[in-house]
């Protein structure tokens, strides 16, 4: 603490992940070297030992500074082969290691079910990864793969973060929690109106159990993407705070960030605090004011990093669509209607995760009448309203205003 490296890490707050590069929080010699696990090499670590019963309830926990030597490093694809029991699984590690993977998978799925039984949110919004050429120009997109091997790692991290938060809270000292507040009444009201307009009956959305209902009811339907987007937009951002008020999205009473000290400064602070407490150096724990300052700055720096990443991706998407216009070969996309207004229809393209407008001039010859229910109707009774799927292609891109215009091709 207080070293030049620490001051710089605090100043950065987090690693920044851009499309084709990473700006690390810590020097590469640390982040990719002595602080990263390498099979067959000794590494200093902070280990979390957790014991669970058959129901997936944590019954014991222990934390210790440790020296470990990992025996294998697997890709998500390799672990998935083991979980799926494919022929290729026999080439993944030893039988002992494969058995451990299967046990961990079983536990992870139990932990996952327990979270959702407590009404943790499961918002199905697959991230799209953009593909770029050697010049950094976007050439296409593909959905990021998310399998049970990813869930295995996620659940391990979530339960470790929770265990650390519980442990530190027992010492009655301030610490940096990862706080996610429930949506505001205003956002809940807006969400309820939108869901009812789709024919859903969400009930009292201030009750967390009800806010998960529309997600389950529309899973696998044509409304899944739109409803997931509505719920996601109603949520508040998670942030860092010294006031532990739980994590709404994960449905956790105690939660912190501990598992990524290489790329998040609050995790690094949590490591130091836990180490001080376990070694009887409670007096070395930073005060509430200092931790609060770290929490505030880390929240701001995280937002800045995420915004930089989103902005760069958005710019590349805009250029990708603009290039289609320049080449005279705009592609056809499926679009989801987000809202209908007097001058047109706002849509979102799930494939690109980018939005824009179909102007009234593009659709007036088909859907000529705008009504108070925010839908366009024809004399034949057909309509375009929020949640509908349309076929579109790009017709204009405005970089300055960050606007995209689409041509309506049909329903």
Segment 129-152 shows an average pLDDT of 92
- Residue 340: the pLDDT is 86
Model confidence at 360: pLDDT above 90: no
Q: What is the 3-state secondary structure (H, E, C) of the chain?
A: CCCHHHHHHHHHCECEECCCCEECCCCHHHHHHHCCCCCCCEEEEEEEEEEECCCCCEEEEEEEEEEEECCCCCCHHHHHHHHHCCHHHHHCCCHHHHHHHHHHHHHHHHHHHHHHHCCCCCCCCCCEEEEECCCCCEEEEEECCCCHHHHHHHHHHHHHHHHHHHHHHCCCCCCCEEEECCCCHHHHHHHHHHHHHCCCCCCCCCCHHHHCHHHHHCCCCCCHHHHHHHHHHHCCCCEEECCCCCECCCCECCCECCCCCCCEHHHHHHHHHHHHHHCCCHHHCCCHHHHHHHHHHHHHHHHHHHHHHHHHHHHHHHHHHHHHHHCCCCCCEEEEEEEEECCEEEEEECCCCEEEEEEHHHHCCCCCEEECCCEEECCCCCEECCCCEEEEEEEEEECCCCEEEEEEEEC
Model confidence at 256: pLDDT above 60: yes
Segment 103-113 shows an average pLDDT of 98
Model confidence at 197: pLDDT above 90: no
Rounded distance between C-alpha atoms, residue 158 and residue 232, angstroms: 20
Segment 312-336 shows an average pLDDT of 95
- Residue 128: the pLDDT is 83
Segment 176-196 shows an average pLDDT of 95
Which comes out higher in pLDDT, residue 372 or 65? 65
Rounded distance between C-alpha atoms, residue 357 and residue 345, angstroms: 6
* Residue 127: CB atoms within 10 Å: 9
Segment 45-69 shows an average pLDDT of 97
- Residue 220: the pLDDT is 84
- Residue 309: the pLDDT is 95
Model confidence at 241: pLDDT above 60: yes
Model confidence at 310: pLDDT above 70: yes
Closest CA to 311 of 13, 26, 9, 17: 17
Domains of the chain, first to last: 4-181+238-320 (no CATH), 182-235 (no CATH), 330-410 (2.40.50.140)
Rounded distance between C-alpha atoms, residue 9 and residue 27, angstroms: 9
Q: Give residue 378's pLDDT band: very low, low, confident or very high (50, 70, 90).
A: low
Q: Give residue 47's pLDDT band: very low, low, confident or very high (50, 70, 90).
A: very high
Segment 119-145 shows an average pLDDT of 87
């Amino acid at each position: 603490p207080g070293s030049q490296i620490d001051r710089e890490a605090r100043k950065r707050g987090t690693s920044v992940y851009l499309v084709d590069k990473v700006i690390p929080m810590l020097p590469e010699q640390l982040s990719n070297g002595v602080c990263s696990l390498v099979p067959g090499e000794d590494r200093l670590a902070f280990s979390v030992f957790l014991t669970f019963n058959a129901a997936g309830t944590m019954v014991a926990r222990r934390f210790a500074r440790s020296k470990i030597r990992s025996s294998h490093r697997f890709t998500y694809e390799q672990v998935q082969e083991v979980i799926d029991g494919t022929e290729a699984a026999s080439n993944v590690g030893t039988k002992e290691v494969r058995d451990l993977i299967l046990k961990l998978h079983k536990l992870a799925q139990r932990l996952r079910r327990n979270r959702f039984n407590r009404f943790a949110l499961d918002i199905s919004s697959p991230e799209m990864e953009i593909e770029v050429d050697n010049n950094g120009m976007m050439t296409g997109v593909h959905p990021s793969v998310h399998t049970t091997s990813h869930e295995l790692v996620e659940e391990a991290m979530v339960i470790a973060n929770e265990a650390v938060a519980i442990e530190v809270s027992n010492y009655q000292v301030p610490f940096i929690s990862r706080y996610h507040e429930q949506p505001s009444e205003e956002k809940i009201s807006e969400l309820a109106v939108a869901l009812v307009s789709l024919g859903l009956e969400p009930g009292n959305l201030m009750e967390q159990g009800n806010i998960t209902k529309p997600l389950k009811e529309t899973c696998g339907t044509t409304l899944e993407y739109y409803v997931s987007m509505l719920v996601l937009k109603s949520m508040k951002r998670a942030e860092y705070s010294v006031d532990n008020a739980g994590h709404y999205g994960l449905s956790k009473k105690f939660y912190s960030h501990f598992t990524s000290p290489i790329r998040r400064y609050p995790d690094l602070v949590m490591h130091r605090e836990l180490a001080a407490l376990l070694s009887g150096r409670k007096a070395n724990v930073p005060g509430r004011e200092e931790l609060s300052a770290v929490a505030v700055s880390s929240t701001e720096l995280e937002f800045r990093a995420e915004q930089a990443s989103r902005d760069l991706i958005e710019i590349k998407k805009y250029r990708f669509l603009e290039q289609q216009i320049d080449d005279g070969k705009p592609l056809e996309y499926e679009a989801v209607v987000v809202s209908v207004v007097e001058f047109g229809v706002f849509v979102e393209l799930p494939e690109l995760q980018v939005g824009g407008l179909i102007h009234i001039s593009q659709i007036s010859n088909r859907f000529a009448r705008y009504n108070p229910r925010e839908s366009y109707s024809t004399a034949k009774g057909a309509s375009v309203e929020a949640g509908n799927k349309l076929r579109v292609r790009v017709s204009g891109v405005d970089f300055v205003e960050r606007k995209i215009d689409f041509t309506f091709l049909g329903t």
